[in-house]
Amino acid sequence: MSDFAGLKALVTGGASGIGRATAELLAERGAQVAVLDLDPSSVDKPLLAYRADVTDDTEVREAVAAVVADLGGLDILINNAGIGAQGTVEDNDDAEWHRVLDVNVVGMVRAARAALPHLRESRHAAIVNTCSIAATAGLPQRALYSATKGAVYSLTLAMAADHLREGIRVNCVNPGTADTPWIGRLLSKAPDPAAERAALEARQPTGRLVSAAEVAGAIAYLASPLSGATTGTALAVDGGMQGLRLRPV
C-alpha cells in the first residue's frame, strides 16, 4: 500500500461503515482526511468532520470549500454516501425513486462538481465511487437500489473518459454484502436477527460477509498513486461472486 503522506482526501458518508473504515485507513497511511456526512457527530481526530447532506448542492459546495480551505487543497474524493431501497418496481413510488436517486447518484455528481476544480490542481487526483454488485447482478427485490448503482457505474466510466487528459482518475468499487451498520439495521428488522445473519453468511461465496476494512482496502488502492494507470475500472470486493459468476441470493 502506497504512502498517502501529503495527500488530502474527502470521504462522503464517512461517519459510518465503509466510508468510516476508508477514512481511517487513509489517515493511518498518512493522508489528511475530511469526512462529509449527514451526522458526523461520531467522527474523531485525526479525521476532520463536516456536516452536509449530499442532496443539498449549497451544503455540498460550502462543505467542499471549507475542506479545501482547512486542508489547503484536495487530491482524493471518495464518493461513498448512499442509502438502500427494497422491493420491485411496484413497491416504490415516484417520490421514493427521486429520493434514492438524489442521494445515490446526484449526490455523487454534486460532490464531484464541487471537488473537480480542486482536483485539477493535484498531481495525484483520484475519485473513487462506492458502487455495488447490484449494478450488474440482477438482484431480486432491489430494483431501485440496483438502478442507482447501475447509474453510478456508468457515471464512473463517463467521468473517467471526461477527465482522463486532466490527470484525474475515476474508478469504483463493487462490494458484495458488507458488514456495516447498514446491514445491522436490515438484520435487526428480522424476527430472529442472529438466525438471519447466519443465513445471510451461509449464502455468501466465502461463507462470510465482506468486511468494511476489505472494501476500504480496495478503495484506498484505487485512490493511491500505486494505481496510477488504472481508470474507468470497477474493482469487485465480493468474495468471488462476480468473478466466478456465482448467483447472488
Report the C-alpha gap between 101 and 138 in whole angstroms: 18
| Phi (first) and psi of residue 28, to 5 degrees | -55, -35
Strand pairing report for 169-175 and 32-37: unpaired
- DSSP assigned state of 87: B
Binding mask 110-149 for ligand NAD (x = CB under 6 A): --------------------x-x-----------------
Binding mask 172-191 for ligand NAD (x = CB under 6 A): ---x-xx-xxxx--------
Indicate if the alpha-carbon torsion angle 132, 129, 51, 106 is positive or negative.
negative
Helices 57-71 and 107-119, packing angle to 10 deg: 30
Regarding 231 and contact with ligand NAD (CB under 6 A), the answer is no
Residue closer to ligand NAD (CB basis): 18 or 74: 18
**Exactly one of 50, 145, 153, 221 is catalytic; which is it?**
145
Q: Would you call 145 a catalytic residue per the annotation? A: yes
**Lookup: cell for 131:** 458502487
CB of 172 to ligand NAD, least distance (A): 10
Regarding 248 and contact with ligand NAD (CB under 6 A), the answer is no
The only residue of 2, 38, 57, 246 in contact with ligand NAD, by rule CB under 6 A: 38
Report the C-alpha gap between 210 and 180 in whole angstroms: 9
Task: Return residues touching ligand NAD (CB under 6 A).
Answer: 13, 15-19, 37-39, 53-55, 80-83, 103, 107, 130, 132, 175, 177-178, 180-183
